[in-house]
Amino acid sequence: MKNLRILEASELGHGILIEMDAGWVSPKDTHNIDVLKEAANLDYRNPFEFYAVLQKYDTPNRNGRTYPERILKRESERYKQAISKGLSTSELNHPESSLIDLDRVSHIITDIWWDKNILMGKLKLLTSPGFHERGIVSTKGDQAANLMRQGVTLGISSRGVGSLKKVGERNEVQDDFELICFDLVSSPSTPGAYLFSNPDERSKYEENLEEEIKSKQNNDYVGKSVDLMRKLDDFLGK
């Protein structure tokens, strides 16, 4: 698994699949503001805990990939076992590896559940007593918490290993997919997924993926048209 490489968006084949498509950890969210205010007291007995949209099945993401319901539900059940054993750690930023590096671990997923086609989750930042007591940043969890305290919005992104094949008009994840973890990143790609304090607040973070895709297609069309006109002008000017 060490020799696997990360597949680019819309690329087919077998490799590491990272989906910066789940959501954001936004310090501007009402609940998160309260969490961060409490964290100003820096009591390590009151951990940073957030909710998030982790994945969606049968929904094309910004990387042009679709995860079938059967595969994501199978992997979520397997991941629940990892949670129960304390093995659901994840990193700050995606490494170019399928392995979890304990030196880079920033948080742990403590619960997951399904809401229709959306995989919801709860995570806890693994901050140190030194960060809570004196604001000393010594771990990746401290870094993530400190970034949020400074107003930085973080994203959450799934990481796994598997294959992609063209199925109709979709690039579909295949049965050999194995979910590894959910890393914190700077720029997620899945619409409508944010970190928030109450799972009932999810609806206000939902985005319209179809409108976004149409907008991107229109922008691509305009861009190609402008490029074609420039080439035509260059040709006529010669």
| pLDDT tens-place string over residues 14-45 | 877 777 555 555 545 555 555 444 444 444 55
- Give the pLDDT score at 142: 92
70 token code pair: 């059967």
Whole-number pLDDT of residue 208: 46
Integer Cα distance of 169 and 123 in angstroms? 34
Pair of tokens at residue 27: 């310090």
Backbone dihedral angles phi then psi of residue 193, each to the nearest 5 degrees: -120, 115
- pLDDT for res 229: 52
Instruction: Tell me the backbone φ, ψ of residue 152, rounded to 5 degrees.
Output: -85, 135
- Give the separation between CA 51 and CA 110, rounded to whole angstroms: 10
Query: pLDDT at position 186, please?
Result: 76
Instruction: List the chain domain ranges.
Output: 13-206, 208-238
Residue 87 pLDDT > 50: yes
Strands 49-56 and 118-125, sheet pairing:
antiparallel
CA–CA distance, 222 with 218 (Å, rounded to integer): 6
Lowest mean pLDDT among 45-49, 114-118, 181-185: 45-49
Q: How many C-beta atoms surround the C-beta of residue 138 within 10 A? A: 12
